[in-house]
Amino acid sequence: MLAPACVLPSVSATSAPVRRIAHLDMDAFYASVELLRYPQLQGLPVVIGGARRRDDDALLSRHAGLPLAEIPVAEFPRLKDYAGRGVITTATYAARQFGVGSAMGLMKAARLCPQAILLPVDFEEYRKYSRRFKAVITEIAPVMEDRGVDEVYIDFTEVPGGQRDAGRSLARLIQKSIFDATGLSCSIGVAPNKLLAKMASEFNKPKGISVVLAEDLQALIWPLPCRKINGVGPKAEEKLKAQGIYTIGELATRDPAWLVKIFGRSYGAWLHEAAWGRDNRPVVTESEPVSISRETTFERDLHAVRDKAELGAIFTRLCERVAADLRAKGYVGRTIGIKLRYDDFRSITRDQTLEQATADVRTIRRAAGQCLQRADLTRRLRLLGVRVGALARADGSTPDTSRKEIPRHDPTALLFPDA
DNA sequence: TCTGGGGTCCTTTTCCTT
DNA sequence: TCTGAAGGAAAAGGACCC
């Protein structure tokens, strides 16, 4: 039963709608996509990662013709049989119980859980699902910011129904639509800005919907550790701890001038704003890449002189891949650079800016080769990378920044057919 | 015992020009 | 010719994120 508008003067036609920003995070994205393909692995410890690629997966060739869902569990490769470099990209909950998790070396993981099934990373497949769930979202709420393969921000503010139940209704609709279209679940946080929405989306995983209002700052945000702020990493966390600051609430009580002194003008001021839940960044629907790069870690450490031929072939291959990426995406770049990682894990970069932007393999290879000559090549190398920056559109065009059309009908009405 | 691959953004250093 | 300040661009490194 709706109250007449005349007794609700604050909701007049002239008052701006409350800013409602959603952060959507797919639940265990890579693992969930793999389980759609291999449902027989449900509940088993599965680890995704390693250097192997899908196309040389012996498992698939051996079972060519057999539906993937019918490949016997016993046939899947195990962590204990893996030899070589690499890290875990993600692990299922069943695998995490053994103490293995993202970013752990595979050799260490094999000791903790030798029987875990090891699947290679299949970015092509994840990107396919990524495009699908994002298409579902923009059908409903067009102002969406891409934040990588499994995450987006969505501006609910102007979407009809976006204000209903503080955004919960629209969040529920999006969740259901994504599940219906892909079989995948996600978590959504709705808040007055991106900073708080990102934190809110983690409150209720998986399949969660959380709303954080401006007045919830003290109760819901301040008790959290500073590390929960998107932008506070391990280094900043350590530095904060060293100052006796553990929670966001403790951070909020510190004098901004003091924070600036300790953390620098930009980062110190930002930390203070973040602790008070303030963030006015818009949801950005279009963006241009700044650089395109390719890098690879070798099977074994290589020496510039003793492994010259092998290194040269890898180097050329990297340049070719970067050039192909540039062409495929329609960009040229002026700044050519290389990245080296030595056997002691130290990394260095060298770069050089050309007169003319290019996407030509030979030009890239020549400039990158000159960069290489400026680096110390007496140590053994574990990684080599090639990068092209200062990008411009190859055809000289400027990006389309036209505003997204907001639908006029209320999509949440689907959830409330009687409303 | 190890520690991937793509990115962005910021700070500091270096180099060049005036 | 040397010295120094100032400012900008390019180069290098590092933190952070997914």
pLDDT tens per residue across span A54-65? 544 566 667 778
How distant is C1' of C16 from CA of A330, in Å? 28
With DSSP H G I counted as helix, E B as strand and the rest as coil, what are the percentages for chain A, rounded to 5? 40, 20, 35
3-state secondary structure of A415: coil
| Average pLDDT estimate for A87-95 | 89
- Asked if residues A116 and A106 have their Cβ atoms less than 8 Å apart, the reply is no
Q: Within 7 Å: CB of A295 and strand B?
A: yes
Name the pLDDT band for A3 (thresholds 50, 70, 90): very low
Nearest CA to A289 out of A146, A169, A87 is that of: A146
Domain A29-121 has CATH 3.40.50.2000: no
Q: Within 7 Å: CB of A161 and strand B?
A: no
How distant is C1' of B10 from CA of A8, in Å? 47
Residue A16 has pLDDT above 70, yes or no: yes
Nucleotide at minimal C1' distance from the A341 CA: B3
| C-alpha neighbours within 13 Å on the C-beta side of residue A369 | 13
Per-residue model confidence as pLDDT tens digits over A318-374: 999 999 999 999 999 999 999 999 999 899 999 999 989 999 999 999 999 999 998
| Average pLDDT estimate for A199-218 | 95
Nucleotides of B under 7 A from a protein CB: 1-12
Q: Tokens representing A78?
A: 């195990």
What's this model's pTM, rounded to 2 decimal places?
Answer: 0.90
Residue A397 has pLDDT above 70, yes or no: yes
| Average pLDDT estimate for A175-194 | 97
Q: Is A151 among the residues known to form the active site? A: yes
Q: Within 7 Å: CB of A85 and strand B?
A: yes
What is the residue whose two structure tokens read 């818009």? A282
CA angle A311, A317, A320 (to 5 degrees): 145
CATH no. for A222-275: 1.10.150.20
More reliable by pLDDT, A403 or A263 = A263
Domain A291-409 has CATH 3.30.1490.20: no
3-state secondary structure of A77: coil
Q: How much is the pLDDT for A400?
A: 62
Per-residue model confidence as pLDDT tens digits over A130-144: 999 999 999 999 999
More reliable by pLDDT, A160 or A84 = A160
| Average pLDDT estimate for A234-245 | 91
Distance (Å, whole) CA A115 – CA A126: 25
How distant is C1' of C15 from CA of A261, in Å? 18
Q: Within 7 Å: CB of A62 and strand B?
A: no
Q: How much is the pLDDT for A8?
A: 40
Q: Within 7 Å: CB of A231 and strand C?
A: yes
How distant is C1' of C5 from CA of A392, in Å? 35
Q: Given A125, A151, A158, A250, which residue is catalytic?
A: A151
Q: What is the CA radius of gyration of chain A?
A: 25
In whole numbers, what is the pLDDT of chain A averaged over residues? 89
How distant is C1' of B4 from CA of A345, in Å? 13
Segments making up each domain of chain A, as ranges: 21-27+125-214, 29-121, 222-275, 291-409
Residue A6 has pLDDT above 60, yes or no: no
Q: How much is the pLDDT for A7?
A: 41
Domain A21-27+125-214 has CATH 3.30.70.270: yes
